[in-house]
């Protein structure tokens, strides 16, 4: 702290004579005190010109005349040898004391002159050094206090709260009572108690009218608080988030730490508000990365263009520009039931009561409350083409495969039930049907062009054969108290079960309100299990009719000869091939998607017989199997020694006419010829019909030859 003293005496100039080298020499020494810093005096004198001059000594004391015995100067006690200079500053003197000074000169021989004329100085300090607020003020968020320390003591007006102003604004704890919120816990430190101090905030404190005892104002008047390293990030925010480098990006979201701080986002989480929109994307487009609701949410639509923020982000479009949106993606038809070409390009029997079912997926969703979102155009080969849509609630229905809202269903089955038509009734026998499907999603994206599907209805002969009880498993109704009717998720009140034969133990449990009643179909319609790398196990089941049920149907598939069925996988016949529906763990595979309800498999081991329970959306042919490669555990016959039991791989039925037992598949060309011979030449005649009935009743079954 620099202060100046004023020399009150006039500068004196005297002529001094002393002996040097035993000669009388004339020494004229001018000595005076200049304006100096407090506790400091600067003296100057005229130089002597003797050739053997060595230096000068300053004598000081607090009284006039000898002995000049001063002791407090920083340079030492009197006299002070200053060397061969003609100006010197004496430091460390005491404020308010009058000091007296003289100077002598000495030569190389050590001889000195007499004293110079005496000067005196009354040290009166003038304090013109401004006090400062020292780095760094400290914050106690728990107690809402800020400690500031000044460079001097005895600071004036510091307890006046009006002399402190914060940016951003802070209020003292008791603003109506001045002075009680600023205390002096020690020395030059003052404690400011505030109503509250926000976390993660850099503050600027500006003081006014606060001075030291000499009246010097605090300079500079402002100081930054909570940013000791001057990186523009609040110190407590850096500490809590374990960051210190403003340019780093620990969460890799494209925002560096400084940008994260300025946007109040988490530097260690790329999606601070958890709305599935990255922070940097929200910041770039002016969305609030800390708000997951309203227009800032993932399902918000800031530009009101019909596309959510999340969809805009996924597709790289501008959520603020209603002319920038993703390209329309029309609904995708995954499969149909019956499949395209059924009964035309293959020998699939399509019952005359069949529903036409189409499985549709669309990421944008289909609004099934919009009656025109799904439309069927039917050409039945008999009547004029006609259309049916969701307004025809008796004829067209939707089975959702997800829990989506009705206004945005992403996966569904759409079903047209021709047999419910009052005007037309069932399809005519032996007719080719064409159905065109129009579907649009919530964004109006249509299928363009609309696809159409063809299939051929069974002949009357095929129908009669499939309905003949002699060609069907021995079945009966499930008892009303059957425990299998109970289910934690769905309501069932009816069922049918096989009572004897290879399928004994097979069971279908369903809701009696279904438009079509589930039943077991003829076993001889079942295609041979010919999936490469897999071996069919147990007896395949023909589930009829081909439709999608409003409530998934529960089926029990028997596996005689197995005490433990947990190693078996389930296969389903879709269109023209066998596909894996679910693996042995019960996980639905792509081939079972839309057919089997995920998580519905239950293994009923140690039964008579053991069964596998699953729930399905629609009917087809189902078969269990195991890989043909690798180790395969041998199933144990009930009560049999597991070391000697052999697996059953029986398939029921003889395929189409007499060929399946011989050629192994009803798709073999030999079988196709024999089937045509049966339908054209045998079944139309009474004798031929009797022959076919006798053949199917007594012919050998595949796997038993």
Domains delineated in the chain: 3-127 (2.60.40.10), 138-225 (2.60.40), 332-464 (2.60.40.1220), 469-627 (2.60.220), 660-698 (no CATH)
**What is the DSSP secondary-structure string of 230-249?**
-SSS-HHHHHHHT---TT--
Q: Which positions of the chain have pLDDT values less than 70?
A: 1-38, 629-673, 675-676, 678-680, 683-684, 686, 689-690, 692-705
Whether 612 and 624 have beta carbons less than 8 Å apart is answered as yes
Q: Is the peptide bond before 605 cis (omega within 30 degrees of 0)?
A: no
Burial zone of 532 (CB within 10 Å; 0-12 exposed, 13-18 middle, 19+ buried): exposed
**What pLDDT, on the 0 to 100 scale, is given for residue 505?**
94
Which residues are 615's β-sheet partners?
A: 554
Cα separation, 126 vs 598, in Å, equals 92
What SS3 class is residue 502?
coil
Extract the tokens encoding 76: 């030492």
Cα separation, 215 vs 130, in Å, equals 9
Burial zone of 92 (CB within 10 Å; 0-12 exposed, 13-18 middle, 19+ buried): exposed
**What pLDDT, on the 0 to 100 scale, is given for residue 325?**
80
Extract the tokens encoding 181: 């919120």
**What pLDDT, on the 0 to 100 scale, is given for residue 98?**
93
* Helix (H) or strand (E) segment spanning residue 674: helix 669-677
What SS3 class is residue 192?
strand
Residue 603 CB contacts under 8 Å (≥ 6 apart), including other chains: 564, 565, 566, 610, 612, 613
What SS3 class is residue 438?
strand
**What pLDDT, on the 0 to 100 scale, is given for residue 193?**
96
Whether 352 and 427 have beta carbons less than 8 Å apart is answered as yes
Extract the tokens encoding 51: 């050739």
- Residue found under tokens 């005076």: 32
377 CB neighbour count, 10 Å cutoff? 16
CB crowding 326-350: b at 16 or more within 10 Å, else e: eeeebbebebbbbbeebbeeebbbb
Phi-psi region of 630 (alpha: psi -120 to 50; beta: other; left: phi over 0): left
Longest dimension (CA), the chain: 172
Whether 258 and 272 have beta carbons less than 8 Å apart is answered as no
Q: Where are the beta strands (DSSP E) in 545-650?
A: 548-558, 569-574, 577-582, 602-604, 611-618, 621-627
Burial zone of 251 (CB within 10 Å; 0-12 exposed, 13-18 middle, 19+ buried): buried
Is the torsion defined by CA of 238, 243, 247, 248 positive or negative?
A: negative
Q: Is the peptide bond before 335 cis (omega within 30 degrees of 0)?
A: no
Whether 320 and 285 have beta carbons less than 8 Å apart is answered as yes
Whether 629 and 533 have beta carbons less than 8 Å apart is answered as yes
- Spatial CA neighbour of 513 closest among 493, 490, 496: 493
**What pLDDT, on the 0 to 100 scale, is given for residue 696?**
53
**What pLDDT, on the 0 to 100 scale, is given for residue 329?**
82
Whether 490 and 511 have beta carbons less than 8 Å apart is answered as yes
647 CB neighbour count, 10 Å cutoff? 18
Tell me the per-residue pLDDT of 542-587, one tens digit each, with 9 for 90 and over.
Answer: 999 999 999 999 999 999 989 999 999 999 999 899 999 999 999 9
Q: Is this structure's pTM higher than 0.75?
A: no
**Mode of pairing for the β-strands spanning 611-618 and 548-558:** antiparallel
**Mode of pairing for the β-strands spanning 80-83 and 53-61:** antiparallel
Cα separation, 224 vs 135, in Å, equals 9
**Mode of pairing for the β-strands spanning 3-5 and 36-37:** antiparallel
Cα separation, 469 vs 648, in Å, equals 26
């Amino acid at each position: 702290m620099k202060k100046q003293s004023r020399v009150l005496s006039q500068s004196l100039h005297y002529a001094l004579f002393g002996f040097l080298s035993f000669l009388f020499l004339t020494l004229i020494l001018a000595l005076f005190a200049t304006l100096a810093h407090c506790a400091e005096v600067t003296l100057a004198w005229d130089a002597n010109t003797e050739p053997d001059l060595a230096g000068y000594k300053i004598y000081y004391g607090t009284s006039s005349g000898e002995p000049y015995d001063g002791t407090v100067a920083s340079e030492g006690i009197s006299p002070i040898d200053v060397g061969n200079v003609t100006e010197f500053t004496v430091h460390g003197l005491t404020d308010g004391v009058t000091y007296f000074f003289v100077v002598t000169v000495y030569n190389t021989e050590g001889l000195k002159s007499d004293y110079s004329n005496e000067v005196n100085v009354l040290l009166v300090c003038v304090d013109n050094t401004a006090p400062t607020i020292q780095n760094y003020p400290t914050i106690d968020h728990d107690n809402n206090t800020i400690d500031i320390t000044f460079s001097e003591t005895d600071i004036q007006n510091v307890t006046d709260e009006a002399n402190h102003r914060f940016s951003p604004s802070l209020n003292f704890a008791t603003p109506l009572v001045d002075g009680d919120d600023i205390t002096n816990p020690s020395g030059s430190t003052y404690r400011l108690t505030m109503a509250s101090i926000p976390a993660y905030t850099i503050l600027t404190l500006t003081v006014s009218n606060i001075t030291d005892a000499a009246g010097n104002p605090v300079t500079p008047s402002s100081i930054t608080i909570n940013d000791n390293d001057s990186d523009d990030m609040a110190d407590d925010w850096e500490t809590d988030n374990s960051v210190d480098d403003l340019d780093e990006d620990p969460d890799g979201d494209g925002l560096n730490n400084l940008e994260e701080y300025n946007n109040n986002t988490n530097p260690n989480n790329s999606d601070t508000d958890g709305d599935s929109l990255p922070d940097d994307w929200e910041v770039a487009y002016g969305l609030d990365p800390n708000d997951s609701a309203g227009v800032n949410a993932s399902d918000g639509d800031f530009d009101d263009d019909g596309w959510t923020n999340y969809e805009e982000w996924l597709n790289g479009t501008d959520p603020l520009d209603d002319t920038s949106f993703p390209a329309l993606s029309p609904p995708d038809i995954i499969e149909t039931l019956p499949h395209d070409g059924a009964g035309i390009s293959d020998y699939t029997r399509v019952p005359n009561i069949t529903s036409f079912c189409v499985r549709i997926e669309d990421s944008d969703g289909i609004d099934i409350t919009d009656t025109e979102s799904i439309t069927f155009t039917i050409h039945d080969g008999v009547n004029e083409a006609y259309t049916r849509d969701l307004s025809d609630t008796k004829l067209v229905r939707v089975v959702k495969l997800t829990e989506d809202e009705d206004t945005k269903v992403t996966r569904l089955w759409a079903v047209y039930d021709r047999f419910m038509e009052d005007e037309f009734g069932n399809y005519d026998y032996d007719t080719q049907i064409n159905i065109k499907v129009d579907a649009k999603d919530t964004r109006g994206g249509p299928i363009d062009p609309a696809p159409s599907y063809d299939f051929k209805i069974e002949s009357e002969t095929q129908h009669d054969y499939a309905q003949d009880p002699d060609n069907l498993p021995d079945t009966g109704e499930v008892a009303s108290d059957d425990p299998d009717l109970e289910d934690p998720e769905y309501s069932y009140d009816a069922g049918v079960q096989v009572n004897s034969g290879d399928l004994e133990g097979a069971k279908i449990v369903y809701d009696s309100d279904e438009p079509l009643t589930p039943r077991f179909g003829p076993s001889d319609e079942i295609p041979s299990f010919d999936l490469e790398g897999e071996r069919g196990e147990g007896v395949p089941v023909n589930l009829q009719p081909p439709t999608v049920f409003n409530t998934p149907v529960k089926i029990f598939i028997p596996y005689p000869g197995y005490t433990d069925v947990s190693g078996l996988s389930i296969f389903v016949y879709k269109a023209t091939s066998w596909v894996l529906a679910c693996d042995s763990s019960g996980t639905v595979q792509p081939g079972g998607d839309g057919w089997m309800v995920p998580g519905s498999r239950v293994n009923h081991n140690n039964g008579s017989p053991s069964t596998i329970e699953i729930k399905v959306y629609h009917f087809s042919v189902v078969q269990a199997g195991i890989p043909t490669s690798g180790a395969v555990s041998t199933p144990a016959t009930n009560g049999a020694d597991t070391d000697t039991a052999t697996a059953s791989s029986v398939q029921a039925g003889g395929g189409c006419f007499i060929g399946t037992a011989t050629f192994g598949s009803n798709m073999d060309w030999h079988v196709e010829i024999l089937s045509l011979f049966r339908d054209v030449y045998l079944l139309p005649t009474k004798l031929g019909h009797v022959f076919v009935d006798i053949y199917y009743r007594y012919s050998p079954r595949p796997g038993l030859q």
